[in-house]
Structure 1
Amino acid sequence: MKTSIIAIANQKGGVGKTATSVNLASSYAHLKRKTLLIDCDYQGNATANFGLKKQSKYKNLSTALRVDLPLNEVILKTSNEYLDVIAGDMGLSKLSREKILEPGSYNLLKNWLDCESIKEYEIIIIDTHPSLDLLFQMSMTAAHYYLVPVFAEADPFDGLQYMLEEVSLIKKSLNPPLFLLGIVITKYNTKNATHRKFHEYLQKYMDEVKITLLKTVIPESTAIASSSGAQRALISHHPKLPVTQAYLELAHELLPELRGVRQGRRQGTPTISEMPEEIDKLFDFEVQELEEEAVL
């Protein structure tokens, strides 16, 4: 069994990054795939989603990285035997500031995960920090794959372009095998004209730059917030809802691509400079059209 490490990444807040991390990890656990969720965000929202904040006081990622504790000594168990968590905590913020000028600091997480304990897991999901800082760099250097959740409106899409540029630099200098699984649209409302138009636009753009826009779309749902408030994943709190089934579909859609470190020909990473001019014009036109509709 090869371990596959997936970073869930987007520098924009509010796009469903942590919800995707939590519920994708829980979906794989539901499918009986041994999964580890690493909370690499000092806000610790993924940790809180499982009610593990109190337990994380001494067992957390920052402590493990600071004093090189073995992975199996900081693992927190969840109610699902197939899902474990490495907690995020405020100490990650301090660690990031302290280590940023140290040579090779970007390899801190990757080196820590280079251990026998990692072989127990088929899938490792990293909930990244929503800022292009050392925590983000460490996560992307440690990952084999990355998945980008986006909200189908203009601002999060702009952020996607800048993040792809940053990831391109990380691929070139730190982690050449890093593989983009695709873009997943979250919080999607089929009745919202803006969402429908941007979904269409995103598909055109992704086709142009040869990036996968995943077929699975995560619908907008208040159940995400309610399950988080109940400190449970969707699969255990609202198992039959469309949003829960969508995360299961996403887990199935990604599985064929997950086979550890990618070998052979490396995947290129498009950057903002590669965007065709006609796509830019299409974007400007659609934004103007939406604004005119809003006035009417």
Structure 2
Amino acid sequence: MAQIIAIANQKGGVGKTTTAVNLAASLAVLKKKVLLIDMDPQGNATMGSGVQKNDLLYSVTDVLLGEVAIETAIIKAEVGYKVLAANRELAGVELAIAEQEGREFILKNALKSIEDTFDVIIVDCAPSLSLITVNAMAAVHGVIIPMQCEYYALEGLADLTQTIDRIQQALNPNLEIVGVLRTMYDARNALTRDVSAELEQYFGSKLYATVIPRNVRLAEAPAHGLPVIYFEKSSKGAVAYLNLAAEFVKKSKVKKG
């Protein structure tokens, strides 16, 4: 059975989609069978995986509306993993399913038919607490929180942990924070070091030892529709996400073979 993980943060601009795409690619390099699900109407994870969001035959929208089976909508990307893509059509789904019974569990139910096909399923969530994000949280086993080491990020983290607690109590008793990832990390910055120390004290072993540095190649890769490991494999960003993938496998229930 796949380990199903959401990449989530209610604050935008923290490297959430960058982490979803590059962790998926790095796990694929480690010979894991990976599915990346884009649950953000912006479709950035889709584009960052080399899939054109405006040319989709089927998307996650069709799956959530019950119009196609999830197996039909999954695309094999050219970057080592498979994608359940998204585009702006996803923004209209919330209204369409708002009155539907069991609306919070549509994604969870859809995943049942494929969860034995993959080692890891990564869900890239939108930076907002919508019904679509709730669907993602209800379907996953755990959450990875990417965050910058800055003051406002700490405030946003408190809001997110409260949200996760509420969803755990109401919809998904197995939901937990499996890891906190420091992104855009600059050890020369005193505030970065101070916030990092606070995170270490609060989260302990759930704080990944791997940090993702600020890296030009990592920032450039999405414009080319590539994870950084395919854009510049020797870059600090690529090495960092490979290290994260290895740490993730070591800490999680992912099959080691």
Q: Indicate conservation of the 8 Å contact 2:46/2:53, yes or no.
A: no
Cα shift at 1:42: 0.6
User: Take 1:228 and 1:174, find their aligned partners in 2: how far apart are those partners?
Assistant: 34
1:210-229 mapped onto 2 (5 Å cutoff): 212-229=206-223
Query: Which of 176, 184, 196 matches 2:181?
Result: 184
Corresponding residue for residue 75 of structure 2? 76
User: Take 2:131 and 2:19, find their aligned partners in 1: how far apart are those partners?
Assistant: 22
Cα shift at 1:51: 2.6
Cα shift at 1:54: 4.9
Q: Indicate conservation of the 8 Å contact 2:65/2:97, yes or no.
A: no
User: SS in structure 2 opposite 1:215?
Assistant: strand
Indicate whether 1:144 and 2:138 are aligned: no
> What per-residue deviation string (whole Å, max 9, x for no partner) do you get for residues 237-284 of structure 1?
111112211111111111133327xxxxxxxxxxxxxxxxxxxxxxxx
Provide structure 2 residue ranges, at least 5 long, that are not aligned to the other structure: none
Q: Indicate conservation of the 8 Å contact 1:63/1:91, yes or no.
A: no
> What per-residue deviation string (whole Å, max 9, x for no partner) do you get for residues 20-55 of structure 1?
000000000111101000000011000011231257
Provide structure 1 residue ranges, at least 5 long, that are not aligned to the other structure: 261-296
Q: Structure 1 residues 124 and 56, CA, compared in 2 at 3 Å: closer, same or farther? A: farther
User: Take 1:179 and 1:259, find their aligned partners in 2: how far apart are those partners?
Assistant: 14
Structure number having the greater strand percentage: 2
Q: Indicate conservation of the 8 Å contact 1:181/1:254, yes or no.
A: no
* Aligned residue pairs, count: 254
User: Take 2:47 and 2:136, find their aligned partners in 1: how far apart are those partners?
Assistant: 20
% identical equivalent positions: 34
Corresponding residue for residue 95 of structure 1? 93
User: Take 2:248 and 2:203, find their aligned partners in 1: how far apart are those partners?
Assistant: 17
Corresponding residue for residue 60 of structure 1? 59
Corresponding residue for residue 158 of structure 1? 155
User: SS in structure 2 opposite 1:120?
Assistant: coil
Corresponding residue for residue 240 of structure 1? 234
User: Take 1:54 and 1:215, find their aligned partners in 2: how far apart are those partners?
Assistant: 34
Q: Indicate conservation of the 8 Å contact 2:50/2:78, yes or no.
A: no
Corresponding residue for residue 170 of structure 2? 173
Q: Indicate conservation of the 8 Å contact 1:56/1:87, yes or no.
A: no
Cα shift at 1:204: 2.5
**What root-mean-square deviation, in Å, do the aligned CA atoms of Structure 1 and Structure 2 show?**
1.6
Cα shift at 1:194: 1.9
Corresponding residue for residue 203 of structure 1? 200
> What per-residue deviation string (whole Å, max 9, x for no partner) do you get for residues 108-130 of structure 1?
11011111x33221110000111
User: SS in structure 1 opposite 2:193?
Assistant: helix
Q: Structure 1 residues 72 and 55, CA, compared in 2 at 3 Å: closer, same or farther? A: farther
User: SS in structure 1 opposite 2:210?
Assistant: coil
User: SS in structure 2 opposite 1:13?
Assistant: coil
The residue type equivalent to 1:154 in the other structure is: Y
Corresponding residue for residue 273 of structure 1? none
Q: More deviation in 168-177 or 64-73?
A: 64-73
Q: Indicate conservation of the 8 Å contact 1:38/1:125, yes or no.
A: yes
Q: Indicate conservation of the 8 Å contact 1:50/1:78, yes or no.
A: yes
Q: Structure 1 residues 101 and 67, CA, compared in 2 at 3 Å: closer, same or farther? A: closer
